Amino acid sequence: MISCGARHVTEAMFLAAAKILADEVTESDLRRGSIYPPLKRIRDVSAKIALAVAETAFDQGLAAVPRPDDLPEFIRSRMYVPVYPIYQK
């Protein structure tokens, strides 16, 4: 994981990511036949997953950087922001 410098992905990291993903699926999503959260929530869900994986990496001593004081904000600050310039004719 780039944000914490972990060079290996452990089973615990996969489990943390899977648990967050499953927790983000609502009953409404399931009633609509969706086993994933809606795409419109991808950034929020991705941030939560990244946070859980980073916390696991820090807890397992696999992070190659010091743990930030505000890990959630640190994760969000590293997220790609898909902003594209508007070109006029």
The answer as to whether 43 is a domain residue is: yes
The answer as to whether 61 is a domain residue is: yes
Work out the pLDDT band at 87, boundaries 50, 70, 90: confident
Q: Which two tokens stand for residue 52?
A: 């859980």
Provide the number of structural domains found in the chain: 1
Work out the pLDDT band at 88, boundaries 50, 70, 90: confident
Work out the pLDDT band at 83, boundaries 50, 70, 90: confident
Structural contact between residues 1 and 53, judged by C-beta atoms closer than 8 angstroms: yes
d(Cα 71, Cα 59) in Å, to the nearest integer?
Answer: 13
Structural contact between residues 8 and 62, judged by C-beta atoms closer than 8 angstroms: yes
Task: Kindly tell me if the per-residue pLDDT of 89 is higher than 80.
Answer: no
d(Cα 71, Cα 86) in Å, to the nearest integer?
Answer: 33
The answer as to whether 83 is a domain residue is: no
The answer as to whether 5 is a domain residue is: no
The answer as to whether 37 is a domain residue is: yes
pTM of the predicted structure, to 2 decimals = 0.87
The answer as to whether 18 is a domain residue is: yes
The answer as to whether 3 is a domain residue is: no
**Phi, psi angles (nearest 5°) of residue 7:** -95, -10
Indicate the average pLDDT of the chain: 94
The answer as to whether 54 is a domain residue is: yes
Give the mean pLDDT of 49-56.
97
Please give the pLDDT value at position 84.
86
Q: Tell me the Ramachandran region of residue 33: left when phi exceeds 0, alpha when psi lies from -120 to 50, beta otherwise.
A: left
Residue 64 belongs to domain spanning: 11-77
